Amino acid sequence: MRRARPVHGLRCSRSSTPRFLAHVEIFVRGRVVLMPAGIGVAPPQVRRGAFVVGGRCDYPVRTREPTGLLEIARGMRLTLGDLFAVWGQPLSGRRVLSFAGAVAAFDGRRRVAGDPRRTELRPHSVITLELGRHVRPHFPYLFPRRLPTARP
């Protein structure tokens, strides 16, 4: 992502494509792992506190805040595999980030069978990944009414 080259077939662009929201939570051995702001935003990034408000270009999936809230380009069928590829982090049925073990994926309260990378990111989907001790998925997630804007 540092050089803004295509990742997983996804291009970084400066267009202001309309986006929808989804949410991802990651738990490892019962503890939350925060997703950083700036996934999918190529450097140099413009930050305001913990928030990323701009960069050289954006991929079709990005985070601007460290809450797991994803912004996804409308009209694209993206998956968790796409998110993790843009993030530059591993995800499989046996690994999430630098942690090894069986990975369970939930879409809402429903357990996702098979490879978690294939889990589709849909408008207002609430996805939980966990490795180790089960944590009851936090569903429903209260999404903002509008796409978040840069905070001062």
> pTM of the predicted model, to two decimals?
0.91
Cα 84 from chain centre: 7
Q: Which residues contact 23 (CB under 8 A, 6 or more apart)?
A: 67, 68, 69, 70, 125, 126, 127, 141, 143
Which pLDDT tens digits describe the chain residue by residue (152 residues)? 667 899 989 999 998 889 999 999 999 999 999 999 999 999 999 999 999 999 999 999 999 999 999 999 999 999 999 999 999 999 999 999 999 999 999 999 899 999 999 999 999 999 999 999 888 766 678 888 776 654 43
Q: Which residues contact 15 (CB under 8 A, 6 or more apart)?
A: none
**Residue 4 counted as domain residue:** no
Name which of 110, 109, 100 is nearest 28 in CA terms. 100
**Residue 54 counted as domain residue:** yes
**Residue 11 counted as domain residue:** no
**Residue 9 counted as domain residue:** no
**Residue 30 counted as domain residue:** yes
Burial class from Cβ neighbours inside 10 Å (0-12, 13-18, 19+) for residue 26 reads buried
- Domain span at residue 73 reads 19-131
Tokens in use for 120? 């589709």
User: Rounded distance, CA 70 to CA 117, Å?
Assistant: 16
Which pLDDT score is estimated for 3?
Answer: 75
Q: What is the total count of domains within the chain?
A: 1
